[in-house]
């Protein structure tokens, strides 16, 4: 039920309480609420509270229902004489910003009241932790935040009341009413999400698995949104693969951002579980990304991302490796997920960047130039059209034909992951 409590200085508190709650617990709840509701006023300690209902003092051991307190009833609160040894009034005052005038005395006063501490741990665990802790600056920050939150809520209520009393033919008032209704819908949707879909507010940990690249163990970021498998220059060097990098495949990977493609390693062994698989990858100049297992290799090795069992199945299910839990992922990876996502987005368009740059080998060989000129011939365009009809993107078809020197069947085999 909801009751209203009025103080001697006519301040109002509205509380939701259980009808079978004791008066003592109600006083503790009022003490907690008074921490924030009346900035610049003194917190009313439990020992100093006197509650009156229908002119009769309410004893601590009595229950609200036994006293006849019902929904929407009014309870008066008056302050008794402070007990000896209690903090002075000034020490327990709050500043206009909601912080304590004397945070040490304020903290000590709350610590002395076990009932209040118990209520705080139930209603505001963060504040309770600050009270029992030793960081007074943290306590002050929380008090200011709670005061700001209540001030915003009070201002919002006042604005809603003003809108209800506004001229219904005022265009500006109607716009504000419309905005308020829209915001109310958003708030209700947010509250429903908190109740029925709380996991939607948790951080989503990206998918990592343990792999070995050329015998070197590492944490591989599995990303089906990246077109190509990517390895950083530093990781390729650590794996002893940098010597195999084909610099004719230099280019720029475009996406959310862009990264420089240093070249391509055409084939190297990766170990997933207990089985070795051939893998090719682009080498990026990206210090914030180590190894990204992209869609090209996921498709080639018939991988299944099984989120029900939380495993990556490779080879149609012949190997299953678990996705790593958050505690098993290096913290630097979690801190750099933004960079991984950027690299992933770049990978989605990485073939286009390679197409522009890879058709001319860095050594200036004429074969690369001839192959680039062949892309303009009608025969080449006809082969591209056939591959497009099979469901592949134009850029992928062009790149595959270039890699196979125009051999249509070989290009189709590459695109199908053969």
Q: Torsions phi, psi of 246, nearest 5?
A: -90, 105
Torsion of CA 59, 62, 68, 70, to 10 degrees: 100
User: Where does residue 242 rank: exposed (0-12), middle (13-18), buried (19+ CB within 10 A)?
Assistant: middle
* Catalytic-residue membership of 223: yes
Q: Active site residue: 72, 223, 285, 328, which one?
A: 223
Task: Dig out the tokens for 25 from the structure.
Answer: 């617990």
Residue 272 CB partners (closer than 8 Å, separation 6+): 209, 211, 312, 314, 319, 321
Judge whether 326 and 204 are in contact, CB under 8 Å: no
Strand order across the 56-57 sheet: 12-16, 2-7, 74-79, 49-53, 56-57
- State whether residue 254 is helix, strand or coil: strand
Phi, psi of 228 (to 5 degrees): -120, 155
Known catalytic residues? 223
């Amino acid at each position: 039920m909801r009751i209203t409590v009025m103080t001697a200085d006519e301040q109002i508190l509205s509380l939701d309480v259980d009808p079978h709650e004791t008066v003592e617990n109600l006083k503790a709840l009022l003490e907690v609420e008074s921490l924030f509701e009346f900035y610049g006023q003194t917190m009313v300690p439990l020992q100093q509270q006197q509650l009156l209902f229908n002119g009769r003092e309410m004893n601590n051991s009595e229950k609200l229902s036994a006293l006849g307190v019902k929904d929407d009833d009014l309870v008066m609160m008056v302050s008794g004489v402070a007990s000896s040894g209690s903090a002075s009034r000034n020490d327990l005052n709050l500043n206009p910003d909601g912080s304590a005038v004397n945070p040490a005395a304020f903290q000590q006063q709350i610590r002395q009241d076990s009932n209040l501490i118990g209520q705080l741990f139930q209603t505001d665990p963060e504040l309770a932790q600050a009270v029992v802790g030793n960081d007074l600056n943290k306590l002050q920050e929380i008090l200011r935040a709670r005061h700001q939150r209540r001030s915003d809520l009070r201002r919002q209520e006042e604005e809603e009341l003003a809108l209800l009393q506004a001229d219904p033919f005022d265009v500006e008032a109607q716009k504000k009413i419309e905005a308020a209704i829209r915001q109310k819908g958003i708030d209700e949707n947010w509250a429903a999400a908190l109740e029925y879909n709380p996991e939607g507010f948790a951080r989503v940990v990206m998918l990592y698995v343990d792999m070995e690249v050329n015998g070197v163990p590492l944490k591989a970021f599995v990303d089906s949104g990246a077109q190509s498998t990517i390895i950083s220059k530093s990781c390729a060097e650590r794996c002893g693969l940098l010597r195999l990098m084909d610099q004719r495949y230099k280019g720029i990977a475009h996406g959310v951002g862009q990264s420089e493609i240093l070249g391509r390693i055409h084939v190297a062994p990766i170990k997933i579980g207990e089985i070795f698989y051939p893998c090719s990858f682009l080498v990026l100049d990206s210090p914030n990304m180590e190894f990204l297992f992209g869609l090209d290799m996921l498709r080639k090795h018939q991988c299944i991302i099984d989120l029900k069992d939380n495993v990556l199945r490779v080879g149609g299910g012949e190997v299953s490796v678990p996705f790593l839990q958050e505690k098993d992922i290096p913290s630097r990876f979690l801190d750099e997920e933004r960079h991984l996502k950027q690299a992933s987005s770049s990978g989605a368009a990485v073939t286009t960047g390679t197409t522009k740059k890879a058709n001319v080998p860095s050594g200036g060989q004429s074969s690369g130039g001839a192959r680039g000129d062949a892309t303009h011939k009608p025969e080449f365009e006809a082969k591209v059209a056939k591959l497009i009809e099979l469901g592949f993107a134009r850029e992928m078809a062009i790149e595959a034909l270039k890699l196979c020197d125009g051999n249509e069947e070989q290009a189709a085999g590459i695109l199908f992951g053969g």
